[in-house]
Amino acid sequence: MANGKTGTAATVETGGYENVFFSASDGLKLHAADYGRHNLATRDRLPVICLPGLTRNTRDFDDLARLLSTDPKTPRRVVSFDYRGRGQSGWDKDPSRYSIIIEAEDLLSGMAALGLEHAIFIGTSRGGLIMHVLAATRPGVMAAGVLNDIGPVIEGAGLAQIKAYLSRTPTPKNWADAAQILAEAHSKSFPALTETDWADFARAIYVEKDGHLVADYDPKLLHGLKDIDLGTPLPTLWPQFEGLGRMPLMALRGEHSTLLSTDTLEKMKDCVPALQTVTVAGQGHAPILHLSGIPEILTRFFASVDKQRRH
């Protein structure tokens, strides 16, 4: 559906948004979901770019994107991206190319294809790490940022939990079973979620293929996790975080997160005194952004960014 040239895109209309397909620099077809693109009321406001976690996809942001793009007072264009090997993006034949650096390059190709010069970024987990890369390489594309349960220090214990969960999750028999599997695995970290929330969570993670429910990513994506030595401290990204601190910045932390510690959050605040921090009660890694009053928190933050830009 893409025409094979970086910087151009093909779109497919669907309910409430457009599926956009574009080409990476190596020709791989990639996908984004674009909300509010043709709404004239969004033209005078910064768009929002949403970047998902390691194995996640654009559906994580669907509810939030609909809320933001149809806000009666301050609607915004919202674009969420599927990295290569996730969601509706193509799978890479070379698993070594599932890297943050290449995913940052893919994002810039997508921004060019969609005519996005700069935006407010929301990065969940891995998405926030991509923001750190952009702070060092292309800071001008980011007008402001929201780090969702991620910072310059990744706790080894939290990464170990993610690694264990991804390698041991059973295959669900049906959608109800998928919701139950997720609830059993994560309910201690997410006591705020209801039965309906777990069902929605399942729809964001799984997809039906050949009559079976499967996680919506290339299994080879996990090869990189196998090579991480959790017995040694993980590299930190403090210089890149300082770069992020040159723009309006907010950090969300799930109350029960094991990936972003309270100690790291305090050090982030010391490093960037203007950083706005929010602890999301009843959620872990990473907070679901359309719950717990987060849309209202984000809307207020975006309004403050608009105000700063006017002055």
Q: Give the per-residue SS3 of 158-223.
A: HHHHHHHHHHHCCCCCCHHHHHHHHHHHHCCCCCCCCHHHHHHHHHHHEEEECCEEEECECHHHHH
Per mean pLDDT, which range of 5-9, 44-48, 66-70, 137-141 is the poorest?
Answer: 5-9
The 10 Å Cβ neighbour count of residue 110 is 27
Across 10-14, 29-33, 50-54, 150-154, least confident range: 10-14
pTM: 0.95
Sign of CA dihedral 70, 73, 77, 80: negative
State how far the Cα of 115 lies from the Cα of 220, in Å rounded to an integer. 31
pLDDT average, residue stretch 131-153: 98
275-311 pLDDT, tens per residue? 999 999 999 999 999 999 999 999 999 999 999 988 7
Residue 151, pLDDT score: 98
* Residue 182 exposed, middle or buried by CB count within 10 Å (0-12, 13-18, 19+): buried
pLDDT at 12 over 80: no
**pLDDT tens figures, 163-205:** 888 888 899 999 999 999 999 999 999 999 999 999 999 999 9
The confidence band for 140, taking pLDDT boundaries of 50, 70 and 90, is: very high
Mean pLDDT of the chain: 94
Question: Can you identify the CATH homologous superfamily of domain 9-156+233-310?
Answer: Alpha/Beta hydrolase fold, catalytic domain (3.40.50.1820)
E strands in the chain: 9-14, 17-23, 29-35, 48-51, 78-82, 119-124, 142-148, 206-209, 212-215, 249-254, 276-280
pLDDT tens, position by position, 247-281: 999 999 999 999 999 999 999 999 999 999 999 99
